[in-house]
Amino acid sequence: MGAPTGNIRGWWNLPYRLCHLRTIELRYNGLCGLIGVDGRLRIYAEESYGDGWHAQYIISMDGDFIAVADQESGANPDIEPLPRSSDLKTPRPAWASMHLNYGGAPHRGEYARDDIARLARPLSYGEKEKLIGLGYFPDMPFHLILGVVESYVLSETTVDADLFLICRRLRIAYLLQEPVTGPEGSRYDYDTHVLHLAQWFDQSKPEMPLEYTLLDEESAGISMNSPTEGVFRDGYLFLADSGMGRDGLVSCIHIWEVIPESDGDEWDEAL
């Protein structure tokens, strides 16, 4: 087991640390999902890739592929779904965090006409600073980042009492330096950018800013591309991270041990 890589406490004094155990690469760079984790901590995962092809996997905690069903880009189209354990713990849709789901603004348009000042939920200075630091809005002046115009919780998993790990898709609006006329002749002075994030959600403090709750390289020990689904089981956190079809990326499953803070302090003292 590796040393704890990130203290996930924010200003609400969350008493856990994350210890990144391993990242298991899948075969492709499309959209991957976590079907579930069984009582033996075997991971059931799936991918959609290419022209609508699919693959499923059963993987051990150590990263060994126990079973694979892959259409192989059409070379093996008639696959059967892999059998699933009866004790599978699956990702679930938002329940505790459902109030984070909202939308309604156009994906691009005119700031005044579309009433973005009202529709966009503003980001704090710290949240903008965090997102810029993570490379989402490189070199963009803070005042041009307008806020969140769409939010959707893809999955949530319970870690402890009021604490959840959620995977979330955000669409953030930003002002352009100059208005642009698109190929269809429409004029727009703002556009939007989609982010996929994993973050902690404390039901007792639902409005905690992103700079405290995001799973980034500092708190998670690794950087992620597009986290889509997570499952917490028996002290371990499993998270699907999609390549989203981008060149040079591959979909993967990340595994962490979630360690009580007191245990983490004892580890540090032992070092």
Alpha-carbon dihedral sign for residues 101, 205, 88, 253: positive
pLDDT digits (tens, 9 = 90+) for 14-34: 668 899 999 999 999 999 999
- Quote the domain boundaries for residue 96: 6-36+92-270
Nearest residue to 199 (alpha-carbon basis) of 127, 250, 145: 127
What's the confidence (pLDDT) of residue 264?
44
Check whether 242 has a pLDDT greater than 60.
yes
Residue 48 lies in a domain: no
Structure tokens at 222: 């690794």
41-48 long-range contacts, CB within 8 A, separation 24+: 41/233, 41/234, 41/236, 42/66, 42/85, 43/238, 43/253, 43/255, 44/82, 44/84, 44/85, 44/88, 45/240, 45/253, 47/251
Q: What is the pTM of this model?
A: 0.89
- Is-contact 124 132, C-beta < 8 A? no
- Per-residue pLDDT band for 12 (boundaries 50, 70, 90) equals low
Out of 14-28, 111-125, 240-254, give the one with best mean pLDDT.
111-125
Answer yes or no: is 215 within a domain: yes
Q: For residue range 201-224, what is the model confidence (pLDDT) as tens digits? A: 999 888 888 888 899 998 899 999
Domain count, the chain: 1
3-state secondary structure of 248: coil
What's the pLDDT at 107? 95
pLDDT in tens, 120-179: 999 999 999 999 988 899 889 999 999 999 999 999 999 998 899 999 999 999 999 999
Dihedral angle computed from the Cα positions of residues 127, 147, 222 and 41, in that order, rounded to the nearest 10 degrees: 110
Question: CA-based angle 106:108:112, to the nearest 5?
Answer: 80
| Lookup: tokens for 91 | 């990702």
Q: Given this model, what pLDDT does residue 13 score? A: 65
pLDDT of residue 269: 41
Let me know if residue 227 belongs to a domain: yes
Domain-located, residue 60: no
**49-105 tens-digit pLDDT:** 999 999 999 999 999 999 999 999 999 999 999 999 999 999 999 999 999 999 999
H-helix or E-strand spanning residue 154: strand 145-160
Amino acid at 38: D
DSSP state letter for 76: S
The answer to whether residue 64 sits within a structural domain is no
- Is the model's pLDDT at 39 over the cut of 90? yes
CA distance 168 to 132: 18
Residue 34, token pair as written in the block? 């976590």
The rounded distance, in Å, linking the Cα atoms of 59 and 41 is 9
pLDDT at 4 over 70: no
Look at residue 10 and tell me if it is in a domain. yes
152 is a domain residue: yes
Position 121, amino acid:
R
Average pLDDT of span 249-269? 76
Alpha-carbon gap, residue 151 to 199, rounded angstroms = 13
Residue 44 falls inside a structural domain: no
Q: What pLDDT score was predicted for residue 158?
A: 96
pLDDT at 207: 84
Confidence at residue 63, expressed as pLDDT on a 0 to 100 scale: 97
